[in-house]
Protein backbone atom coordinates (compact mmCIF):
# COMPACT_ATOMS: atom_id res chain seq x y z
CA UNK A 1 0.00 0.00 0.00
CA UNK A 2 0.91 3.65 -0.14
CA UNK A 3 1.64 3.93 3.56
CA UNK A 4 1.55 2.08 6.85
CA UNK A 5 -2.02 1.28 7.77
CA UNK A 6 -3.22 0.60 11.29
CA UNK A 7 -6.59 -0.57 12.50
CA UNK A 8 -8.68 0.19 14.34
CA UNK A 9 -8.04 3.91 14.60
CA UNK A 10 -9.61 4.02 18.02
CA UNK A 11 -10.53 1.25 20.43
CA UNK A 12 -12.36 1.44 23.74
CA UNK A 13 -12.33 -1.70 25.81
CA UNK A 14 -13.28 -2.78 29.28
CA UNK A 15 -10.62 -3.61 31.80
CA UNK A 16 -9.78 -7.29 31.66
CA UNK A 17 -10.69 -7.81 28.01
CA UNK A 18 -8.21 -8.81 25.32
CA UNK A 19 -7.54 -6.51 22.35
CA UNK A 20 -5.83 -7.04 19.01
CA UNK A 21 -4.27 -4.22 17.04
CA UNK A 22 -3.33 -4.59 13.41
CA UNK A 23 -0.57 -3.10 11.29
CA UNK A 24 -0.15 -3.31 7.51
CA UNK A 25 3.37 -2.19 6.62
CA UNK A 26 4.49 -0.67 3.35
CA UNK A 27 4.94 -3.38 0.76
CA UNK A 28 8.55 -4.52 0.59
CA UNK A 29 9.49 -3.23 4.03
CA UNK A 30 11.16 -6.04 5.91
CA UNK A 31 11.44 -4.24 9.23
CA UNK A 32 8.39 -3.56 11.39
CA UNK A 33 8.23 -1.83 14.78
CA UNK A 34 5.63 -1.32 17.48
CA UNK A 35 5.81 1.63 19.84
CA UNK A 36 3.61 2.81 22.69
CA UNK A 37 3.00 6.49 23.28
CA UNK A 38 1.30 7.49 26.51
CA UNK A 39 -0.45 10.85 26.63
CA UNK A 40 2.03 13.68 26.28
CA UNK A 41 5.01 11.39 26.31
CA UNK A 42 7.59 10.02 23.90
CA UNK A 43 7.73 6.76 22.02
CA UNK A 44 8.35 3.62 24.01
CA UNK A 45 9.80 0.75 21.97
CA UNK A 46 7.85 -2.49 22.26
CA UNK A 47 8.96 -4.98 19.61
CA UNK A 48 10.86 -5.17 16.33
CA UNK A 49 10.54 -7.67 13.49
CA UNK A 50 13.14 -8.05 10.75
CA UNK A 51 12.20 -10.45 7.98
CA UNK A 52 12.21 -14.03 9.19
CA UNK A 53 14.65 -13.39 12.04
CA UNK A 54 13.61 -13.83 15.65
CA UNK A 55 11.89 -10.64 16.81
CA UNK A 56 13.42 -8.31 19.35
CA UNK A 57 10.85 -8.43 22.16
CA UNK A 58 12.96 -6.57 24.68
CA UNK A 59 10.51 -3.68 24.97
CA UNK A 60 7.37 -5.63 25.79
CA UNK A 61 6.32 -4.45 29.27
CA UNK A 62 4.75 -7.68 30.49
CA UNK A 63 3.70 -11.15 29.37
CA UNK A 64 0.24 -9.77 28.66
CA UNK A 65 1.73 -8.23 25.53
CA UNK A 66 2.56 -10.28 22.46
CA UNK A 67 2.97 -9.66 18.75
CA UNK A 68 3.03 -11.76 15.64
CA UNK A 69 4.13 -11.18 12.11
CA UNK A 70 4.02 -13.61 9.24
CA UNK A 71 6.93 -13.08 6.88
CA UNK A 72 7.02 -9.50 5.70
CA UNK A 73 3.31 -8.85 5.93
CA UNK A 74 0.73 -7.88 8.50
CA UNK A 75 1.53 -7.74 12.19
CA UNK A 76 -0.82 -7.96 15.12
CA UNK A 77 -0.17 -6.71 18.63
CA UNK A 78 -2.25 -8.46 21.28
CA UNK A 79 -2.81 -7.20 24.79
CA UNK A 80 -4.44 -9.68 27.13
CA UNK A 81 -6.40 -8.80 30.26
CA UNK A 82 -6.10 -5.09 29.55
CA UNK A 83 -5.41 -2.68 32.39
CA UNK A 84 -6.10 1.06 32.57
CA UNK A 85 -2.35 1.67 32.39
CA UNK A 86 -2.41 0.17 28.89
CA UNK A 87 -4.34 3.20 27.65
CA UNK A 88 -2.12 4.84 25.04
CA UNK A 89 -1.58 5.33 21.34
CA UNK A 90 0.08 2.31 19.75
CA UNK A 91 2.17 3.25 16.75
CA UNK A 92 3.44 0.90 14.09
CA UNK A 93 6.29 1.72 11.72
CA UNK A 94 8.08 -0.07 8.91
CA UNK A 95 11.33 0.42 7.06
CA UNK A 96 13.50 -1.10 4.38
CA UNK A 97 16.38 -3.29 5.42
CA UNK A 98 19.14 -1.07 4.28
CA UNK A 99 21.40 1.48 5.81
CA UNK A 100 20.37 5.06 6.19
CA UNK A 101 16.65 4.61 5.92
CA UNK A 102 13.96 6.16 8.03
CA UNK A 103 10.96 4.55 9.67
CA UNK A 104 7.55 5.24 8.15
CA UNK A 105 4.73 5.43 10.64
CA UNK A 106 1.06 4.63 10.65
CA UNK A 107 -1.46 6.91 12.31
CA UNK A 108 -1.67 4.72 15.34
CA UNK A 109 -4.42 3.10 17.34
CA UNK A 110 -5.68 5.00 20.35
CA UNK A 111 -6.55 2.44 23.00
CA UNK A 112 -8.69 3.45 25.94
CA UNK A 113 -9.26 0.97 28.75
CA UNK A 114 -12.25 1.82 30.93
Partner 1 sequence: AQTVTQSQPEMSVQEAETVTLSCTYDTSESDYYLFWYKQPPSRQMILVIRQEAYKQQNATENRFSVNFQKAAKSFSLKISDSQLGDAAMYFCAYGRGNQFYFGTGTSLTVIP
Q: Residue numbers of the site for partner 1 (CB under 8 A)?
A: 31, 33, 35, 41-43, 45, 48, 50, 56, 89, 91, 93, 95, 97, 100-105, 107-108, 110
Q: 20 vs 56, which CB is nearer to partner 1?
A: 56
Q: 93 vs 113, which CB is nearer to partner 1?
A: 93
Distance CA 84, CA 65 (A): 14
Q: 49 vs 65, which CB is nearer to partner 1?
A: 49
Distance CA 85, CA 88 (A): 8
Rounded to a whole number, what is the distance in angstroms from the first to the last CA of the chain?
33
Amino acid sequence: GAGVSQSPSNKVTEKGKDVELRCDPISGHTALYWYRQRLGQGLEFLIYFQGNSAPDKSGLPSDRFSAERTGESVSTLTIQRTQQEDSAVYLCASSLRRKNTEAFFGQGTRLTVV
